[in-house]
Chain A
């Protein structure tokens, strides 16, 4: 087992474990923290995949921005413990959901498992670097990239419109 393989299993196991903890965590803050852990491990996996820029973005945006935002809202609303875990009125759908998720996992895995496909040894020059990604974003994905700015602007407007109380003067 090569080093990278070992790292894959370590990062993978940690990511998966923290993901499970996110989902099962009793406390929203704990979940958020586990989420960060998962993100870091994923960043590690990105590195293994030669996606260095992605790894950086992952940490900056996901772990840095999004999770912080989520934590911030949790604190703001003080809803970390708010949700009772017992007495669900929709237990059937939940348990059914778990079964279905299991089925889905099995089906997905059954399609993916057989037949090992390896990675090519050789990678093009500059794969995963900022430059190469930048080239793509400003050439091939220029329009999409520009559209992302629209998206983000729209999201800001939306967030302001919704969260800003004065948005609606009289009911």
Chain B
């Protein structure tokens, strides 16, 4: 087969092989070689990132059109790799503390990353379906990984049941899409719709789009399909929350962008209004719901719902100006990864075996005992709120810019106003950190845990997120309209020396 173009899936393969390697290492060296597994995971993710960068500007169509590689896919692959990296970096301290069996943990992490990587590059309904399920199954399991904790398993069961329920809709949608076109390949489907004049099948297409939207809305957590999000985010082990809040979101949105504006552009009359309504509901609903939260993980969960709303607005805009909106979405996803993981990572740093500090009241007065952590958490909050000069602002700027440009003025206005509501709860965190005095004496162990070797990974993750959250706000030169230009330069350099 000449058109395999295996290089197009090097990152995916790397991640999958990494998972197998961890699994194998576990069998060979025993299941508790935590450091080894971590390093393997990090290496796999790094290589995946490296492969992505090496093939940065390449466009390819591999495996009989089952997967493709283009700049958008590359960007998404990079985001997935980075998220995996960050997720892995966040994990060891927590996993250690709660006695996770590390081999399976990292295996599942990498398998899910592999699924995500395939999802964002898939160009075929079957491919997308299977990869989506791969990542879902892994994430279900990871959510329930603290099997002795009620919250974790409860979250996982809810996630699983509702996820499977949504999968039903998604598959049904796939079925109708197939029924409408007789093909599962996106390119063929797109051609079919672009050609127009369809027979009785046109009705199937509309049904299919609706059902697909339902299924995918669940995955991205759009209101009213969002209700699992807070429970799962709260129940899941915090590193997993961090990981999936960005990685699952990025891959799901990657797929959504691939599917709706690119593949189903011909049907935009059907899905654009729905998507707009979903975006509006999600932006406002997510922000309003977050207002009532006292638990930080839950708060961030609703905040992630709200961010999904902004992104949905971007997807809707992509129906009018695909390039610009795509770039804005990708940029947003990238920035979001850093700021959201950063926030969770700070929470993880604050955790101790004795107590998880996930409530707002636990943060009171933290700026006096842990000034740096408080400053960093505030930074992430402000970034999430979209205050310049953070990346959160730049991302919002591009995204709402695209929405305005695409003519969604009302949506953009309402969305950005809802972000003011959002600012309130992000500021609540800053209030707790800086303006309230601690309700309980602050124990010193977080500092100690930050000093431990595996805490180093976490510290690195926090700092990386912080630096990039700001950097993407200040520098943010979209080369390819997607990534900072020096990254582009770096790629050129690597390609040249290959």
User: Contact residues of A with B, CB < 8 Å?
Assistant: 108, 111-112, 115, 117, 139-144, 147-148, 150-151, 153-155, 157-162, 165-171
Contacts and interface: CB of A to CB of B under 8 A. Distances in A.
A151 B137 contact: yes
A154 B99 contact: no
Given A140-B64, A144-B126, A150-B111, A161 B101 contact: yes
B104 A161 contact: yes
A170 B130 CA distance: 35
A92 B207 CA distance: 28
A141 B122 CA distance: 11
Given A155-B137, A161-B105, A168-B145, 11 more contacts: A108-B207, A143-B127, A147-B115, A150-B111, A151-B134, A154-B141, A157-B108, A158-B137, A167-B100, A169-B99, A169-B101
Interface string B53-64: 000000000111
25 contacts: A112-B203, A115-B200, A141-B126, A141-B127, A142-B63, A143-B127, A144-B131, A147-B130, A147-B131, A150-B114, A151-B115, A151-B130, A151-B137, A154-B19, A154-B107, A154-B108, A154-B141, A157-B107, A158-B137, A158-B141, A160-B104, A161-B104, A161-B105, A162-B145, A171-B99
A108 B203 CA distance: 11
Q: Identify whether the interface residues of B are mostly helix, strand, loop, or mixed.
A: helix
A115 to B, nearest CB: 6
A161 B100 CA distance: 9
Contacts of A150: 16, 19, 111, 114-115, 134
Interface in B113-157: 114-115, 118, 124, 126-127, 129-131, 133-134, 137-138, 140-141, 144-149, 156
B126 A168 contact: no
A154 B124 CA distance: 21
B89 interface: no
A162 to B, nearest CB: 6
Contact of B138 (A112, A158, A165, A167): A158
Contacts of A162: 141, 144-145, 147, 156
A141 B111 contact: no
Contacts of B67: 143
Interface in B169-215: 200, 203, 206-207
A47 to B, nearest CB: 19
A153 B203 CA distance: 38
